[in-house]
Every structure is written in structure tokens, then in C-alpha cells.
Amino acid sequence: MPAGRFSDGRLIIDFLAKSLGHPFLSAYLDSLGSNFSYGANFATAASTIRLPDQIFPAGGFSPFYLNIQYVQFMQLKSRSQLIRHRGGIFASLMPKEEYFSKALYTFDIGQNDLGEGFSGNLTVQEVNASVPDIISGFSANIKKIYDLGARSFWIHNTGPIGCLPYIFANFPAQKDEAGCAKSYNEVAQHFNQKLKEATVQLRKDLPLAAITYVDVYSVKYSLFKESQKYGFELPLVACCGYGGKYNYNSSSECGGTARVNGRQIFVGSCKDPSVRVNWDGIHYTEAAAKFISDKISTGAFSDPPLALKQACHKNLA
């Protein structure tokens, strides 16, 4: 059934949860049928680390930026225990108090902060200059979550934003060997370098924390650079979309309508999303998400090089 995903199916977090033996994580904002006994998902589409300037519906970004997600987590931690004490079905749907210190806290956020800068007509140099402040906001929230008892952190770096069709359609740029917008990917790489430096500092500041930095960028970029090797095709073209070389037009987005030869048509999926990388010009297909999850869960792209199932163990080396 449709589940509010910007994808044709499951996301990376869904596969990571499955690999740990859990069902899908219930969204914190989902008021019906939620079960938080094994975790919660605070992510929303278009969420950022910093408070965005343009929020739905006036702009394209979520009001649930990272500070708000922290407040939601704080509420879940305290209120879930009040609800558990009611007993019965309430107790079975809420996490035990000791789970909060044993849980793995996963983060995949920051790309939309860069995207907001580009969509706000900032230059590549100006977006680069905003990165330290973005990272500072991220680190501050990690520390606050640590103060609430979190001890194990799995932190994804950001992906190659310059390989996404919405970038090609809106921002002309020199292409690299994979056909991606070189200068935009360099911004993502700059963000990742600062994020990695921040994780090093966080390990010093939070001595009881196990912090894993995960190089998702490299895995995602391989899907564009070596798509055929991994069984994918047309990696730079959106599967669900309409218009132009990259099948993307911001005025005719996936699931909407487009006017063609005087009539309205539905903007739907390509024939076989299982061999495509990009779903809607911004997000990845289920097949790509599974590929990425399979790669990163091994620990081969992690610092320290720990598999997902070992990420809750502090590296004492």
C-alpha cells in the first residue's frame, strides 16, 4: 500500500530496520496504527537541519527541521513511559524506558539544506560558506540527544546532489565523468568533509558515545558512475516524471498532471523502476535504496569500519 514515501517502495531506513530484524518504523507524525515499541521515524520529506526560509505551502521545505525533530523525540521519550504505565495494549505499543539508551540513532539529513541554498539563488560559493553553520546545528542536536541518554549514533553523509535530475533541470553546470554536475557535487563533498570533522569532535565531546560515520556518498555515486555494472540503466533520468532530457519538470512532478497537446495527462512511473536509480528527480527508487542499504550495512563504508549490527558497540581501539 502507498505509505507516504517519495519512492516506488521502501527507503534505506526500511531496509536497515529489516536487517536488524525490525518491521518498518512507525512515523512519529502518524496518528493511526503506530507501534513505537521497536523505534520511531522522525523524518519528513524536505526536512532540513536549519530552519528553512521557505516552508510549505509557501515554499518547498518542511517545517519539521532538526530542532523540531529533537523536541518530538524528547516528547516521545517522556510521554511513552506515561502511556506504558496504563498497561495492556498501551504498554505493547511503546518502547521500554531502557530501550532509549540501547537504541541506534540514525541520521540522514543535510542535502535539503544545500538544496534550499541553490533554490534560493545562492551561488555555489555562498552555499559552501553556509556549511559550517549547518554542521554546527547538526552537532548541537546530537549533543542534546546524547544528553537525553542516546549513546549509539549512525550518521550518513550526504549524497551526490549534482547527480539528481532536478539539479540538471534548474542549474546548468559543467558535467563530470558520470554526467553529474561537478560543482554541485563538490559542495556535497565539502559538506561531508565538515561533517566528518564534526563526528571526530563529537567523539571527543561525548566520551560514552559510539559514533559511526557512513560514506553514503560513495555508494550513491557508484550508481551513477557504474550503473550498468550493477544492473541499472538511465541513472540520470527520473523514472516518474515528465519533460525534457531528464524526464523532470518542477511544474509536472511525479503523481501530478501535465498538459500535453491541449489535454491533461497523469505523470506516472516508467515501465520498470527496478532497473532505475532515480524515482522522481530528487529521490531514489526502492531498488537503489536496497543497493545502498546492502552496501553500507556491511561496514565497508563506515568509520570506524563497523557493520550496522555492531554499531551500538563503542570502539575502544
The tens digit of pLDDT for each residue in 122-155 reads 999 999 999 999 999 999 999 999 999 999 999 9
Q: Is residue 78 part of a domain?
A: yes
Q: Is residue 139 part of a domain?
A: yes
Q: Is residue 251 part of a domain?
A: no
Q: pTM for the full model?
A: 0.96
The tens digit of pLDDT for each residue in 31-82 reads 899 999 999 999 999 999 999 999 998 889 999 999 999 999 999 999 999 9
Q: Give the pLDDT of residue 59.
A: 86
Domain count, the chain: 1
Give the residue numbers spanning the domain of 147.
Answer: 12-226+287-310
- 181 strand-pairing partners: 175
Coil, helix or strand for 137? helix
Looking only at the bridges linking them, the beta strands covering 210-214 and 302-303 are antiparallel
Residue 259: all three cell numbers together: 498538459
Share of the chain above pLDDT 70, in %: 98
Q: Is residue 39 part of a domain?
A: yes
Question: In terms of DSSP H, where are the helices of 98-230?
Answer: 99-102, 111-119, 124-147, 165-170, 182-205, 216-225
Whole-angstrom Cα Rg for the chain: 20
Q: Is residue 259 part of a domain?
A: no
The tens digit of pLDDT for each residue in 249-267 reads 988 999 999 999 999 999 9
Query: What is the C-alpha separation between 118 and 111, in angstroms, rounded?
Result: 11
Q: Is residue 257 part of a domain?
A: no
The tens digit of pLDDT for each residue in 80-108 reads 999 999 999 999 999 999 999 999 999 99
pLDDT band for 117, please (50, 70, 90 cuts). Answer: very high
Sheet holding 302-303, edge to edge: 104-107, 152-156, 210-214, 302-303
Q: Is residue 23 part of a domain?
A: yes
Coil, helix or strand for 168? helix
Lowest mean pLDDT among 59-63, 168-172, 304-308, 312-316: 312-316
Q: Is residue 279 part of a domain?
A: no
Query: What is the C-alpha separation between 143 and 278, in angstroms, rounded?
Result: 34
Q: Which residues, other chains included, contact 84 with Cβ-Cβ below 8 Å and sequence gap of 6+? A: 90, 91, 94, 96, 97
